[in-house]
Structure 1
Amino acid sequence: MPTQTKYTDVKGYATYYYYSGATTLPDVVPDFSRGRKILFVHGAGSNGHTWHRQIEAFGGKHSPIALDLPGHGRSAGVEGLRTVHDYADFVAAFLDALKIKSAVILGHSMGGAIAMDLGLRHAARVEALILSCTAPKFNLTPDRIEALRAITMGRAPQSFNTDGYSPKTVKENFDVIREGWMEQIKTDPRVRYTDILACSEVDLRESIAKIDKPTLVLAGADDKGTTPADAEFIAGKIRGAAAKIIADAGHLIPRERPAEYNAAIEQFVFSLTDSSRNSR
């Protein structure tokens, strides 16, 4: 199925999103009846286009959707929202705008925290959770936060580095890293900074035990920021959750190891369908 893009109004923000299927008139919501609705929520300072490999992979069987959060990519706004709670409320409103009652929510990094918050405070909107390279409390040092603040004030240039990638990716697939840098410049550094502030304040370590949704937790074996230990912690807290660690991947598994990443998602989504059949 071809990937399409549209705008919709969410809480006064012109919100850009990607989906798979036929085009529709500006005021007509696309058809999301194919397979499972899977909403992809990007990480700090990122945008919905980072999910293009997943939109293409799942568009034939399912209804994948990826939005640009406020101030990110092509969505309206000059700064990010203040808290992860605010972002979760925004995502719930986005589902309202698209007339979607519930969906599988796949969140990456900050998007994973947003997904967990949705599972806690907007549980009826969540069919299942896929938590990608995330943590219930992020390990963000004051030095890193201050470095991002310096960029917003013009005291330092944007940083283009390989920190989030596996050594294998750096050595064998540098085009993926260049692609990541191109995605990075689509969002103002001030938004990345406010996102990191939001991430620094969230702490879901105790509350996620209340989540009662099928959950898959994905992590890269070489991720130094949101580590395999973080994934195992989440899986240990959420009843019935499973963790999968993907080899030779860092923090950007959707780009670094899309085949393995997509296969894990497909297997999990199929298990949801299988479970629903067995419960009839």
Structure 2
Amino acid sequence: MAQEHGGGASTRWSPRPWTPVDVPARQCRVRGSTFSYTELGRGIPLLALSGSPGDARQTLAAFEPAFVGRTGWRRLHLDLPGQGRTPGPDWIRTYDDVLQAVVEFLDEVVGDQPVAVAGISYGSTLATALRHGHPERVLATLQLSPANDVEPDGLSTPVVREDTGFREALTEDERPFLDLFKVRTRTVLEEIRAWTMPGVASCDVAFLDRLDQGPRFSHVDEPLRSFDGPGLIIVGRQDPGGHHRLVDQLDLMPRTTLAVLDRAGHLAFAEQSRLVDVLVTEWLDRVEEHLEQTRAARL
């Protein structure tokens, strides 16, 4: 059996080093609509936003390994409107409406306390929109596999590895996503099956299609604002969204690390899971250090 490099010791899949068992979803009301989220820990609030389609299971898989043995953080993994157990209400008709819904969710659950925001793909775009439109609400950002809102068709990027039988192992529901896999191994497939495909199956397709037919986030057409908080951007070298646009943004984000990972496409959290865990852990360290220094300066 072939050995996997960077994604596990062998092609046999093993669960991530955490098990979110017996953690019931919480709910809050936003303009009469029920928003579902998973809450873990106490302390610095972190809002985790998944890709689309997807749900909180994806952010749990991507970010929670970095919290094993770490205390002092209150993680809020949100099912975004139309995804997971959060319905797509009629009053949300554009992506800017989704952003406003996230702001009102924070009002209900966190109050006016600034939060760290960690997003994957679509969730990463939301993190940027929140940082741009409501800078007072954001103390740090983590963007994993950020979506390309400038050139949505993306680039043609190579497949790094494809194991024998990978395509045949795909289900009918998984085959439309084949081009997203740049590391085609059983380990990566099982990660996506466990943490992303359930969210795909549960999403409100009609609601998400309606959003896609509307305007883009308004911040995409405006000059990017500077951000001095601790930041982390992780993008796969083989991500069809590319990474050059992200390099151009770094001068406006002096405390942000940009990590471009070989052997990873848009599914970087599954294709380079160990490296993602290390980078997320280091970002959490920097956020804690930043808060300590900010408090000390006020004394």
Consecutive unaligned residues of structure 2, counting only runs of 5 or more, are 1-19, 154-172
| Partner of residue 214, structure 1 | 230
CA contact (8 A) 1:43 1:107 kept: yes
Please tell me whether residue 266 in structure 1 is matched to residue 277 in structure 2.
Answer: no
The whole-number CA distance in structure 2 between the counterparts of 1:80 and 1:241 is 35
C-alpha root-mean-square deviation of aligned residues, in Å?
Answer: 2.8
Q: Match of 2:83?
A: 72
Task: Look at both structures and tell me which one has the larger radius of gyration over its CA atoms.
Answer: 2
- Does 2:64 match 1:44? no
Could you give the per-residue CA deviations for residues 221-260 of structure 1, whole angstroms, max 9, x where no partner exists? 2111x22223323334434322111232211223333322
Give yes or no for contact 2:239–2:265 (8 Å, CA) kept in 1: yes
Match of 1:137 among 149, 153, 157: 149
In the aligned structure 2, how far is the partner of 1:250 from the partner of 1:8? 35
AA aligned to 1:97 is: E
Paired with 1:187 and 1:273, the residues of 2 have a C-alpha distance of 35
- 1:248-267 equivalences under 5 Å are 248-267=263-282
> Which whole-Å CA distance do the structure 2 matches of 1:186 and 1:203 have between them?
29
Tell me which amino acid in the other structure corresponds to 1:40.
A
- What does residue 148 of structure 1 align with? none
SS at match of 2:140: strand
Q: Give the TM-score of the pair, scaled to structure 1.
A: 0.77
Residue of 59, 75, 98 corresponding to 1:87: 98
| Letter in structure 2 aligned against 1:15 | F
The within-5 A match list for 1:183-194 is 183-194=199-210
User: Which stretches in structure 1 are left out of the alignment for 5+ residues?
Assistant: 22-31, 142-156
Aligned to 1:161: 177
CA distance in 1, matches of 2:212, 2:103: 21
Structure 2 counterpart SS, 1:45: coil
Question: Is the CA contact (8 Å cut-off) linking 2:66 and 2:281 kept in structure 1?
Answer: no
Provide the rounded CA distance (Å) in 2 between the counterparts of 1:201 and 1:122: 14
Residues 278/237 of structure 1: CA separation in 2 closer, same or farther (3 Å cut): closer
Residue 5 (structure 1) aligned with residue 16 (structure 2): no
- Count residues in correspondence: 251
Partner of 1:223: 239
User: Separation in 2 of the partners of 1:136 and 1:212?
Assistant: 22
Per-residue CA deviation, residues 140-184 of structure 1 (Å, 9 max, x unaligned), is 34xxxxxxxxxxxxxxx9963222222x24465322343333331
The amino acid across from 1:139 in the alignment is E
**Residues 56/198 of structure 1: CA separation in 2 closer, same or farther (3 Å cut):** farther
User: Does the CA contact (< 8 Å) of 1:79 and 1:194 recur in 2?
Assistant: no
- Give 1:58's match in structure 2, choosing from 64, 67, 70: 67
Deviation at 1:5, TM superposition (A): 1.6
Q: Which structure has the higher relative contact order (CA within 8 Å, separation 6+)? A: 2
